[in-house]
């Protein structure tokens, strides 16, 4: 069965109950491609702008997910306070201990947006959470400390990386720990025209 037909069947099957729709596609050009993943969330989520954030999952037939993780998904709940955003739900969930995220995408150029929030109160006692991030083998964050960047606990931090070239049909993001476990709240992969 061709990948495009399979992807459409997965979208129709998964979203027919939730009525959220399926915005990402894995064939064609990068223009118009959109994939948002609310990492740590085990259900799809529609944000205030009507954009669908897919559920977190292990990489497989769906075409995106965590290919390596030694950690777990955490959902702090809808009432957990998050500052610095109009979309707190994205930051109320997280996937910690992630090593690698893969998304099957059409070859082309992409903007990748990573969302973070330090919500674990034990981080003060254990020292800072520091890690590096590579996208398509390029260093994009080195010695990244979420709490230091945010200035406070439970505060959204967003980092955007433009003009990421993909030439093998897979966009790969690697998380390299320095101290404590890497943590991620959300990923957006947007095709550039």
Q: What is the rounded CA–CA span in Å between residue 170 and residue 53?
A: 19
Residue pair 91/82 in contact (Cβ under 8 Å)? The answer is yes
pLDDT digits (tens, 9 = 90+) for 62-91: 889 888 777 888 889 888 999 999 999 999
Q: What is the rounded CA–CA span in Å between residue 173 and residue 134?
A: 6
Give the CATH number, domain containing residue 160.
2.60.120.430
pLDDT digits (tens, 9 = 90+) for 126-149: 668 999 999 999 999 999 999 999
Which residue range forms the structural domain that includes residue 67? 3-191
Q: How far is CA 69 from CA 59, 89, 126, in A?
A: 11, 22, 21
Number of domains in the chain: 1
**Taking the model in full, what pTM does it have?**
0.84
């Amino acid at each position: 069965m061709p990948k495009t037909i399979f992807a459409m069947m997965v979208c129709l099957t998964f979203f027919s109950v939730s009525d959220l729709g399926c915005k990402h596609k894995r064939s064609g050009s990068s223009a118009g491609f959109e994939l948002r993943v609310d990492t740590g969330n085990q259900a799809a989520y529609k944000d205030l702008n009507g954009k669908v954030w897919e559920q977190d999952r292990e990489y497989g037939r769906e075409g995106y997910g965590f290919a390596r993780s030694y950690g777990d998904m955490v959902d702090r709940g809808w009432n957990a306070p998050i500052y610095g955003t109009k979309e707190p739900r994205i930051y109320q969930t997280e996937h910690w201990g992630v090593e690698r995220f893969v998304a099957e995408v059409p070859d082309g150029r992409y903007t990748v947006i990573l969302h973070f929030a330090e919500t674990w109160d034990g981080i003060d006692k254990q020292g800072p959470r520091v890690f590096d991030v590579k996208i398509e083998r390029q260093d994009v964050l080195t010695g990244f400390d979420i709490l230091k960047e945010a200035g406070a606990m439970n505060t959204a931090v967003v980092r955007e990386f433009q003009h990421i070239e993909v030439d093998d049909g897979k966009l790969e993001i690697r998380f390299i720990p320095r101290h404590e476990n890497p943590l991620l709240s959300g990923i957006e992969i947007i095709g550039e025209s």
